[in-house]
Amino acid sequence: MQVTWIPTEHIEAVWPSIKEYMKGAADFTYGRFTEEDIKQELLRKGHLQQLWIAFEDFENIYGAVVTEISQYPQTRALIMHFTGGKQLPKWKKPMLEVLQQFARDNECNIIESYGRPGWEKVFKKDGYEQKFVFYELPVE
């Protein structure tokens, strides 16, 4: 399994292979994003998100992750915004290793993410710690 960053100029070429993965991730944003919104954010000039894919060859892409570096006043984080794919156990470890190295190379102190509660089980053995819970209150 290989993991690589996809430069902005190649996102359109790889998008058909990961569109459904990003749609699945977008579905869990409950109306905040569509897969097209994710793609447009990746393509937007000046917006520094990264697209990573896990693959055996470009015919067999198993997963995709969208990240972004965020500088907080007291720490620097690599944020995993969207994760999607198939056969996660096959590509999770190599993806996480590449993202951890990217975070170190960019002087990030943490990798953070948010998502549905099921992700806790996925990353528990990797040192995941739940720090807070996200709540949504309708404005009605």
Which residues does 78 contact at the CB level (< 8 Å), separation at least 6?
A: 67, 68, 69, 70, 99, 102, 103, 106, 108, 110, 111, 112
Helix (H, G, I), strand (E, B) or coil at 20: helix
* Amino acid 136: pLDDT: 60
Helix axes 35-43, 11-27, angle to 10 degrees: 140
Q: Give the tens place of pLDDT for each residue, 42-85.
A: 999 767 899 999 999 878 999 999 999 999 999 999 999 999 99
Q: What are phi and psi of 10, to 5 degrees?
A: -110, 0
The chain-wide mean pLDDT, for the chain, equals 88
**How many CB atoms are closer than 10 A to CB 30?**
8
Query: Picking from 24-38, 66-80, 99-113, 125-139, which range would have the lowest pLDDT averaged per residue?
Result: 125-139
**Sorting pLDDT into bands at 50, 70 and 90, what band is 123?**
low
Residue ranges and CATH numbers for the domains of the chain are 2-126 (3.40.630.30)
Q: What global pTM score does this model have?
A: 0.85
* Amino acid 11: pLDDT: 95
Query: Picking from 23-37, 44-58, 88-102, which range would have the lowest pLDDT averaged per residue?
Result: 44-58
Query: Picking from 5-9, 38-42, 43-47, which range would have the lowest pLDDT averaged per residue?
Result: 43-47
